[in-house]
Amino acid sequence: MTSYEQLLNELRSTALLGSCSSVLGWDEQTYMPPGGAEHRAAQLSLLAGMVHERATSPLLGELIVAAEQENPSSDPDAPTTATLREARRNYDRSTKIPRRLVEELSRVCTLSQQAWGEARKQSSFAHFLPWLEQVVALRREEADAVGYGDGVPYDALLDEFEPGMTAEEVSGLFAGLRDELVPLIAEIVETGRQPDISILERRYPIEQQRKFSLDAAQQIGFDFNNGRLDEAPHPFCSGFGPGDTRLTTRYDEHHFPGAFFGTLHEAGHGIYDQGLDPAAFGTPLGSYVSLGIHESQSRLWENFVGRSRAFWRRYFPAAQQAFPESLQDVTEETFYACVNDVRPSFIRVEADEATYNLHILLRFELEQPLVTGELSPSDVPSAWNEKFTQYFGMTPPDDAQGCLQDIHWSGGGIGYFPTYSLGNMYAAQFFEAARRDLGDLDAQFSKGEFAPLKNWLNEQIHRPGQRYRANRLVQVVTGEELSYQPLMKHLRDKYSELYGL
């Protein structure tokens, strides 16, 4: 066996072990009784230690060196080169962070998340502040351990979620987006047009919602022979490995969009997962590119397909049949306007497709100075409110609806937020390319035909795994560098028509 083959075997075994944690983690969020928490934490902690051990073992390091010597390739896009590049990146990143720091981060983040939950409930930032200080300090230490070349410490944190992306690139993209998006939202608000979104808060029996969302997930191409849909308080998608991808959602009888668009979103993640090459499981060529690319797949199905006029031309009659008491007197046009309502609001996860990006810009603009130390954690609430007022024209009434709303920072996820808006940009650019390649997508959607788009995504984006980094993948698939412009064009076209701008 060559060293390269031995390396692949080693990576596969580690991934197999890691996928056992995914099963346990999924069960913890769905069916585990409360009494199982302590034992489950012990199981997960043991597995995490075993995975870390394997991922940082000297044996793995030697195999990577030997495989590199065996394969002196000059083509950066060649599958073998890509496999070695990503194996090396993961190994270097894991071994550069001292074990003491890994354990300290894990301990502090668990406690910090608990403190955050309490702080948000009481809307008391003071309760969370000492934990935020520790998390920022530890992540800064991590950035220094990982290194950031000629860049800034934030690069090292961003790199965990979006390999290869830098703060400078994100800043450039976000600045362009901000300069065009802020005036577009102002224009929409000035029209004074507000559809009657209370329609979406009427009664939508949960059993009917379940059938309707499941059917839509199946129609767009999620394969239920190789996956399931269950309920969880915080919806997510978890891929256990080939043939088994789990989606979760949550239902509210008086809020139709939550479960429906949530299911489409998670199904988009699931379709990516199901589209990975099963033979390459556990190796870079069978793994997703980055969180931003993952998010592009969920948002593409949720927003670009699921919130399109063509989609509802097909599905509104079915929705009326499924929910006669709530939709009998509603027109397709009104319903379409309701699911695309743009309205500044305090909470990110409830935001519409346009204002959502401003929530992300704000977080990105606070995270960077937090990491450099220019912004002290104690000044986060005032900095948050100032920026929020500047972007949204209103001030959060309390910190629970402001800087305490998200779990990310408490769990150490500094550098994570940008991947959401990058996901929107990737989605828009991919969707534009799909339109070029596949012709009239709207005509296809209005007939319920989603297979051409799904197959195109499988082939272009899912199947190559990590063969290309995100920015290269965008170039290969669309022929252009990543840009905020396709996203702006999508938003401007949609809302010009809807709001008569």
Q: Does the protein bind Zn ion through residue 290 (CB under 5 A)?
A: no
Query: Among 30-38, 78-86, 292-300, 483-491, which window interacts with Zn ion (CB under 5 A)?
Result: 292-300
Query: Among 193-201, 298-306, 313-321, 360-368, which window interacts with Zn ion (CB under 5 A)?
Result: 298-306
Query: Among 99-107, 297-305, 311-319, 384-392, which window interacts with Zn ion (CB under 5 A)?
Result: 297-305
Residue 266 Cβ vs Zn ion, minimum distance, rounded to whole Å: 7
Q: Which of residues 127-166 bind Zn ion (CB under 5 A)?
A: none
DSSP label of 203: -
DSSP label of 329: T
Residues 6+ apart with CB under 8 A from 65: none
Catalytic residue from among 160, 266, 295, 367: 266
Residue 187 Cβ vs Zn ion, minimum distance, rounded to whole Å: 28
Residue 428 Cβ vs Zn ion, minimum distance, rounded to whole Å: 16
Strand partners, 246: 228, 238
Residue 405 Cβ vs Zn ion, minimum distance, rounded to whole Å: 17
Residue 264 Cβ vs Zn ion, minimum distance, rounded to whole Å: 11
Closer residue to Zn ion in complex, CB, 298/429: 298
Structural contact between residues 226 and 171, judged by C-beta atoms closer than 8 angstroms? no
* 37: number of Cβ within 10 Å: 11
Residue 270 Cβ vs Zn ion, minimum distance, rounded to whole Å: 11
Query: Cα–Cα distance between 391 and 359 in angstroms, integer?
Result: 9
Residues 6+ apart with CB under 8 A from 172: none
C-alpha distance from residue 396 to each of 59, 254, 344, 405 (Å) = 53, 25, 11, 11
CA neighbours within 13 Å on the CB side: how many for 374? 9
* 165: number of Cβ within 10 Å: 23
Structural contact between residues 355 and 392, judged by C-beta atoms closer than 8 angstroms? yes
| Both structure tokens of 253 | 């009888």
Closer residue to Zn ion in complex, CB, 56/298: 298
Residue 243 Cβ vs Zn ion, minimum distance, rounded to whole Å: 22
Closer residue to Zn ion in complex, CB, 423/486: 423
DSSP label of 447: T
Structural contact between residues 261 and 306, judged by C-beta atoms closer than 8 angstroms? yes
What type of residue is 187?
Answer: E
Closer residue to Zn ion in complex, CB, 93/299: 299
Query: Among 83-91, 112-120, 274-282, 295-303, which window interacts with Zn ion (CB under 5 A)?
Result: 295-303
| Both structure tokens of 40 | 């489950």
Tell me the site size for Zn ion, rule CB under 5 A.
1
Query: Among 247-255, 294-302, 336-344, 410-418, which window interacts with Zn ion (CB under 5 A)?
Result: 294-302
Q: Does the protein bind Zn ion through residue 298 (CB under 5 A)?
A: yes
Helix (H) or strand (E) segment spanning residue 238: strand 237-241
Structural contact between residues 297 and 461, judged by C-beta atoms closer than 8 angstroms? yes
What type of residue is 40?
Answer: R
Closer residue to Zn ion in complex, CB, 109/237: 237
Query: Cα–Cα distance between 123 and 213 in angstroms, integer?
Result: 34
Structural contact between residues 29 and 233, judged by C-beta atoms closer than 8 angstroms? yes
Structural contact between residues 263 and 247, judged by C-beta atoms closer than 8 angstroms? yes
Closer residue to Zn ion in complex, CB, 119/293: 293
Query: Among 98-106, 293-301, 305-313, 359-367, which window interacts with Zn ion (CB under 5 A)?
Result: 293-301
Residue 249 Cβ vs Zn ion, minimum distance, rounded to whole Å: 12
Determine phi and psi for 372, rounding to 5 degrees: -75, -20
Closer residue to Zn ion in complex, CB, 112/298: 298
Closer residue to Zn ion in complex, CB, 238/460: 238
Query: Cα–Cα distance between 384 and 156 in angstroms, integer?
Result: 24
Closer residue to Zn ion in complex, CB, 291/330: 291
Helix (H) or strand (E) segment spanning residue 479: none
Structural contact between residues 249 and 263, judged by C-beta atoms closer than 8 angstroms? yes
Q: Which of residues 315-374 bind Zn ion (CB under 5 A)?
A: none
Residues 6+ apart with CB under 8 A from 94: 52, 55, 56
Query: Among 57-65, 131-139, 140-148, 290-298, which window interacts with Zn ion (CB under 5 A)?
Result: 290-298
Catalytic site includes residue 28: no
Q: Which of residues 227-256 bind Zn ion (CB under 5 A)?
A: none
Structural contact between residues 299 and 427, judged by C-beta atoms closer than 8 angstroms? yes
Residue 339 Cβ vs Zn ion, minimum distance, rounded to whole Å: 18
User: Would you tell me which residues interact with Zn ion (CB under 5 A)?
Assistant: 298
Catalytic residues: 266
